[in-house]
Amino acid sequence: MKRVTLSKLQKMKRNGERFVVLTAYDAAFAKLIDAAGVEVILVGDSLGMVVQGHESTVAVTLEQMVYHTAMVSRGASQALIIADMPFLSYSSNAQAISTAAALMREGGAQMVKLEGGGVVIERVTALADAGVPVCAHLGLTPQSVYKIGGYRVQGRDPRSAQAIVADAAALAAAGADLLVLECVPAPLATAITEQLSIPVIGIGAGGGCDAQVLVLHDILGLTPGTPPSFSHNFLAANGSIAAALSAYAAAVRDGSFPGAEHTFY
């Protein structure tokens, strides 16, 4: 099979077909995820928490992201690979382009992801003008966890909800190709998904998005402590990791995940 392309994801949105996104950090899991037919692999800076044991994603470096992205790109031959741009690696347009170049040239990513609205809109324009495919990220932005005061649902009051709507439109206009919405009320995420022409990927954003993404360790029950309320352990009811990955993909496509218990209102 050929590599999944951005044009395929855009076509799936137009056709009302959900697609599946999952994180990976090494070649072995990337190969299993590929075999399950997952369309997109996100090499997330979530590796700082689930692999490295940090309390947030802030400690992850560009060198580490390139290292893990390269491993994933060697394991997956079909999924489109998105790599997170780590904390403070896109503080200027020039730095953003340099970071993207490293993740794509050395890591093998086909797209990069960055968090936030505001000044990040200028970064998206610069990257798009340079020919870099961009995934934006709004709502709960983990790199800003210390600024926003913890892992909290965003957009619950009218003012913050309208700010997310405005940022989403501005990011798409600036050249973002995909958008992740994390931990926002489902009605807000659904409205943004319907308004934008670009595909929207939800995590803790309800079932009205074009796609869903979860952290690999969460769906396999490997994350220490209490798992996020928006996630689900797909390994518990399946006999193998491969079966769990396939069950996750099937649940996203048929709309049974996320359910009401995984959703904020």
First CA to last CA across the chain, in angstroms?
A: 39
Q: How far apart are CA 136 and CA 141, in angstroms?
A: 10
What contacts 18, CB < 8 A, 6 or more positions away? 12, 210, 211, 212, 252, 253, 255
Nearest to 39 by CA among 65, 75, 67, 12: 12
Query: DSSP readout, 176-242?
Result: -SEEEEES--HHHHHHHHHH-SS-EEEESS-TTSSEEEE-HHHHTT-SSSSPPTT---SSTTSSSHH
Q: How far is CA 35 from CA 60, 77, 219, 253, in A?
A: 28, 10, 17, 16
Catalytic residue among 63, 115, 182, 261: 182
Output the six-digit token pair for 115: 């968090």
CA quadruple 111, 115, 117, 118: dihedral positive or negative? negative
Q: How far is CA 216 from CA 52, 94, 177, in A?
A: 14, 32, 23
Q: How far apart are CA 221 and CA 227, in angstroms?
A: 8
The question of whether 182 is a catalytic residue gets the answer yes
Q: How far apart are CA 210 and CA 123, in angstroms?
A: 24
Just list the catalytic residues. 182
